[in-house]
């Protein structure tokens, strides 16, 4: 079912608004504010090899490199110190400091993300980081637009639904950042949308089919080039897609199935050839005996990652999000699950179940092998791409080409809750770095001290960001409801 003109207009509006919102998040977050940014920024600046004043070999230790102080210590003065704002980093200079926590020495991540971001690295660290964030924002928005207009209506609406739900608030913070999790989420979501849509095609005598195949390749490269876990997620998405469309459709488009399988295999090769040694946990809560008891404890505690996907915390896990968002976020996951279950048995329900099992099993298996408990090492952001696949798949109708709309009152409630949650998260993140003290998140007496990556722009960026948030979820409402010209469909019905 091809997309009509109004659908393209809505996709354009949503993608532009998403880009503006991402860019605003990037502008009001200081250099070094995303998790482990000392590692990622140093790895980006060293991606081009040893360059004077950028990345140099330490003369004192062969295992250390010299990078500008702004990269290695940009976060140190405000991370985990809520009484300090980001202006404390203004005194840092480009003087070289020694680091060994860098990918060129540790090899913890694939190098594609760092290599591409390194193309934008320059002597002005603030400007360079801003360009990287805008590039990642534009990349995510463009791929979202392409996926929406190329996919059948049913898949496009499921993609929009998952984007609205799963991106708040963690995805809104991570995508416009210098953290590889940006590409992991963008890549996996694109791989899912284009992959499922490609499998539903039966002819390669169409530009749409070839563009979808290109989306599969681009999504796979982004995911596998960013994080090792995302490289493995390509296999999970491929199985989910195969189960959802069914054996008959896979046979009808063998070329598309082989392309997805090839990208999944390529991701596994990257994982096994890059994977660092897993060490036994040594944290304060690490298990002494990684046996059945550890497995049981982790198995019952692993849903905690779903809560943290909506609650954060953001930044270096030190920017709290009001409990409003995680509470209603979990309720929305329950609503998505109920809507899928209410359809009765179908391949989509089976695929959704597999995605849920994968979401729960991946951390449990890794923690068991590492002798760790839930809360150690693995963070909710690592699992966010699988959660996206789960929500997107569970938002499909049994006949995937057809939309699976929400009732209008329910859709209005969904976008209102998500819009308010996204706005509060944006304000909380902006205020965290701009002000000093531990006052209320809505305290009008707090003084704005750090005014953004573009000096003096804080109030303008915040205002534009809040307007963009409203536009995103207003347009998103049109993706959730049934078009008036379409045939009536029941979104909620009793299971029989």
**CB-based burial of residue 292 (10 Å sphere; 0-12 exposed, 13-18 middle, 19+ buried)?**
exposed
In-domain check, residue 91: no
State the DSSP code for 170. Answer: I
Do 235 and 199 form a contact (C-beta atoms < 8 A)? no
State the DSSP code for 57. Answer: E
DSSP string, 229-273: HHHHHHHHHHHHHHHHH-HHHHHHTHHHHHHHHHHHHHHHHHHHH
CA pair distance 305, 293, nearest whole angstrom: 20
Domain that holds residue 335: 5-30+123-480
In-domain check, residue 96: no
DSSP collapsed to 3 states, 186-209: HHHHHHHHHHHHHHCCCCCCCHHH
Distances (CA, A) of 153 to 11, 27, 174, 280, 300: 11, 34, 28, 47, 37
CA angle 137, 135, 219 (to 5 degrees): 70
**97 phi, psi to nearest 5 deg:** -130, 155
In-domain check, residue 68: no
- Alpha carbon 12 to chain centroid, angstroms: 21
CA pair distance 110, 231, nearest whole angstrom: 9
CA pair distance 48, 460, nearest whole angstrom: 35
Rg (CA), the chain: 22
CA pair distance 376, 384, nearest whole angstrom: 16
CA pair distance 366, 263, nearest whole angstrom: 23
In-domain check, residue 359: yes
pLDDT in tens, the chain (496 residues): 455 678 899 999 999 999 999 999 999 999 999 999 999 999 999 999 999 888 999 998 988 999 999 998 889 999 998 888 999 998 888 899 999 999 999 999 999 999 999 999 999 999 999 999 999 999 999 999 999 999 999 999 999 999 999 999 999 999 999 999 999 999 999 999 999 999 999 899 999 999 999 999 999 999 999 999 999 999 999 999 999 999 999 999 999 999 999 999 999 999 999 866 444 444 444 555 678 899 999 999 999 999 999 998 999 999 988 888 999 999 999 999 999 999 888 999 999 999 999 999 999 999 998 899 998 989 999 999 999 999 999 999 999 999 999 999 999 999 999 999 999 999 999 999 998 765 667 776 678 999 999 999 999 999 999 999 999 999 999 999 987 654 444 444 444 3
CA pair distance 496, 494, nearest whole angstrom: 6
CA pair distance 393, 395, nearest whole angstrom: 5
CA pair distance 90, 480, nearest whole angstrom: 44
CA 137, 423, 73, 39 dihedral sign is: negative
In-domain check, residue 46: no
CA pair distance 83, 124, nearest whole angstrom: 27
CA pair distance 30, 86, nearest whole angstrom: 6
**376 CB neighbour count, 10 Å cutoff:** 18
**56 phi, psi to nearest 5 deg:** -130, 155
CA 348, 350, 351, 352 dihedral sign is: positive
Do 395 and 282 form a contact (C-beta atoms < 8 A)? no
In-domain check, residue 159: yes
CA pair distance 343, 210, nearest whole angstrom: 32
Tokens of 17: 């608004």
**238 CB neighbour count, 10 Å cutoff:** 25
In-domain check, residue 37: no
Do 186 and 140 form a contact (C-beta atoms < 8 A)? yes
| 93: Cβ contacts below 8 Å, ≥ 6 apart | 68, 69, 70
Count the domains in the chain: 1
In-domain check, residue 268: yes
Tokens of 111: 């190098």
Instruction: Provide the whole-model pTM.
Output: 0.93
CA atoms within 13 A on the CB side of 273: 10
Omega cis (within 30) before 169: yes
Q: What is the four-CA torsion angle of 253, 258, 259, 263, rounded to 10 degrees?
A: 150
Do 242 and 250 form a contact (C-beta atoms < 8 A)? yes
Residue 392: in which H helix or E strand, if any?
helix 380-394
pLDDT of residue 436: 73
């Amino acid at each position: 079912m091809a997309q009509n003109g109004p659908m393209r207009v809505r996709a354009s509006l949503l993608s532009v608004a998403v880009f503006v919102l991402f860019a605003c998040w990037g502008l009001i977050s200081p250099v070094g504010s995303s998790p482990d940014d000392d590692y990622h920024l140093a790895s980006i600046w060293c991606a081009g090899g040893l360059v004077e004043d950028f990345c140099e070999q330490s003369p004192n230790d062969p295992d250390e490199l010299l990078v500008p102080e702004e990269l290695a210590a940009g976060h140190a003065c405000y991370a985990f110190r809520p009484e300090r704002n980001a202006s404390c980093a203004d005194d840092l200079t480009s003087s070289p400091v020694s680091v060994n926590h860098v990918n060129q020495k540790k090899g913890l991540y694939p190098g594609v993300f760092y290599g591409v971001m390194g193309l934008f690295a320059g002597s002005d660290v603030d400007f360079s980081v801003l360009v990287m964030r805008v590039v990642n924002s534009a990349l995510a928005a463009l791929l979202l637009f392409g996926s929406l207009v190329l996919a059948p209506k049913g898949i496009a609406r499921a993609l929009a639904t998952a984007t609205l739900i799963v991106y708040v608030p963690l995805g809104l913070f991570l995508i416009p950042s210098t953290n590889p999790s940006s590409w992991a989420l963008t890549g996996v979501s694109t791989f899912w949308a284009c992959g499922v849509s490609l499998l539903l095609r039966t002819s390669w005598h169409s530009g749409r089919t070839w563009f979808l195949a290109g989306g599969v390749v681009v999504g796979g490269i982004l995911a596998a080039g960013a994080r090792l876990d995302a490289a493995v997620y390509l296999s999970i998405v491929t199985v989910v897609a195969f189960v959802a469309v069914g054996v008959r459709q896979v046979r009808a488009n063998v070329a598309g199935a082989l392309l997805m399988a090839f990208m999944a295999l390529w991701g596994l090769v990257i994982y096994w050839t890059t994977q660092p040694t897993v060490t036994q946990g040594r944290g304060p809560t690490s298990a002494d005996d990684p046996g059945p008891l550890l497995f049981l404890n982790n198995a019952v505690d692993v849903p905690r990652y779903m809560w943290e996907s909506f609650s954060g915390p953001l930044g270096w896990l030190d920017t709290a999000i009001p409990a409003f968002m995680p509470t209603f976020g979990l309720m929305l996951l329950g609503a998505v699950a109920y809507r899928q279950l209410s359809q009765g048995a179908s391949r989509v329900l089976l695929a959704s179940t597999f995605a849920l099992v994968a979401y729960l099993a991946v951390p449990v298996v890794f923690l068991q092998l590492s002798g760790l408990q839930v809360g150690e090492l693995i963070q909710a952001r690592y699992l966010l791409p699988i959660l996206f696949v789960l929500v997107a798949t569970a938002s499909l109708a049994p006949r995937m080409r057809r939309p699976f709309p929400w009732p209008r009152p329910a859709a209005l409630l969904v976008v209102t809750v998500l819009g308010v949650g996204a706005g509060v998260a944006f304000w909380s993140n902006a205020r965290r770095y701009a002000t000093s003290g531990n006052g209320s998140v809505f305290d009008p007496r707090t003084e704005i001290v750090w005014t953004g990556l573009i000096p003096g722009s804080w109030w303008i960026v915040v205002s534009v960001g809040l307007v963009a948030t409203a536009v995103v979820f207003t347009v998103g409402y049109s993706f959730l409801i049934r078009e008036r010209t379409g045939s009536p469909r029941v979104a909620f019905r009793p299971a029989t």
